Structure 1
Amino acid sequence: MAEPRDRRPGDRITLTGLRVQANHGVFDFEREQGQEFVIDVSVLVDLRAAASADDLAQTVHYGELAEAVVAAVEGDPVDLIETVAERVAEVALSYPATIEAAVTVHKPQAPITVPFADVAVSIVRGRA
C-alpha cells in the first residue's frame, strides 16, 4: 500500500534580496555605524483558494510582508543574525495564511579577517 501523501501544499511566496540598513552585531562599531543586511523570506501558503477566487485576502500580500520584514530588521539592535532571522520568521508567521516561513539573513559586510562572499543564517519555522 502506498504511503499517504503529505497534504501540505508546495505553494510559496518568496521575497529575495530585501536590503535593510541596521545596527546589529557583537562589536561596538557595528552598533554605531550600522551595515547592510540582505533578507530572503519564503512563506509556504496554500494558494488554491486565493487563485480560484482572485482574492488578495486569501493569501499573503507580499508588499505588506516586505515592509513588515524591513521594519522588524530595522528594530532594536541585537548581537546575532540568528536573532534577526527569528524576528523575521515571527513576522512572516503572523500572517494567517502562512503555514511555514523560511528565512535567510545575509551579512555581506561581516567583520571577518579573510576574504569571503557572504555570511548567512537560514532557518525554517512553522506553526506550533
Structure 2
Amino acid sequence: MNRQDTITLTGITAIGYHGVFGHEKRDGQPFVVDAVLHADLAAAAAADDLTKTAHYGEVAETIAGLIRGESFDLIETLAVRTAEAILGGFPNVEGVEVTVHKPKAPIQVPFGDVSIRVFRDRAPRSVA
C-alpha cells in the first residue's frame, strides 16, 4: 500500500559557505533547511520500533553537516546533495522534499527569503 506518511523537519540552521561570490565562501552565512520525509510509518508504529522509521535526530545532523560541509556555488546543489544523502542514509525513507533557504542572499533590493525546493524518491528514472 502506498501511504502518504511524512516526517517533517523545519528550520535546521547552520552557517555554510555556499555562493558564487568570494565573500560568501570566505565569510559564510546562515542557511536554513526544511525536509519532508516520505515513508510508510505503519510498521514503525505497530512495533513501536525506531529502526523501522527514520531517526529524525540523525536526519537533522546529516542536514546540518551538509550545510557546514563542502562549499557549493549553488544552493540548488546543496538541496540535491541533501536529498541524495537522506535517501542514501535512511533506507526507510521512500522520498524526500528538501527546501534550502538563503535568507541573507546577496540581493540588492529588499526581500524576505530565497529558497530552492527539490523532490527526490527511489523511483527508477529514465535517462534521456
Pairwise same-fold verdict (TM > 0.5)? yes
Q: Shorter-chain TM-score: what band?
A: over 0.9
Find the aligned partners of 1:82 and 1:101 in 2 and give their Cα distance: 15
Out of 59, 77, 94, the position equivalent to 1:65 is 59
Q: Deviations over 1:37-69 (max 9, x none)?
A: 000011101000000000000000000110011
Find the aligned partners of 2:115 and 2:2 in 1 and give their Cα distance: 27
2:109 pairs with 1:114: yes
* Runs (5+) with no aligned partner, structure 1: 1-6
Find the aligned partners of 1:12 and 1:124 in 2 and give their Cα distance: 13
Find the aligned partners of 1:93 and 1:73 in 2 and give their Cα distance: 17
Q: Which residue of 2 aligns with 1:4?
A: none
SS at match of 2:94: strand
* Runs (5+) with no aligned partner, structure 2: none
Q: Runs (4+) of structure 1 moved beyond 2 Å? A: none
SS at match of 1:124: strand
Q: Which has the larger radius of gyration?
A: 1
Find the aligned partners of 1:55 and 1:109 in 2 and give their Cα distance: 40
TM superposition shift of 1:74: 1.2
Which TM-score applies when normalising by structure 1?
Answer: 0.93
Q: RMSD value over aligned CA atoms?
A: 0.7
The count of residues paired between Structure 1 and Structure 2 equals 122
Percentage of matched positions with identical amino acids: 49
TM superposition shift of 1:91: 1.5
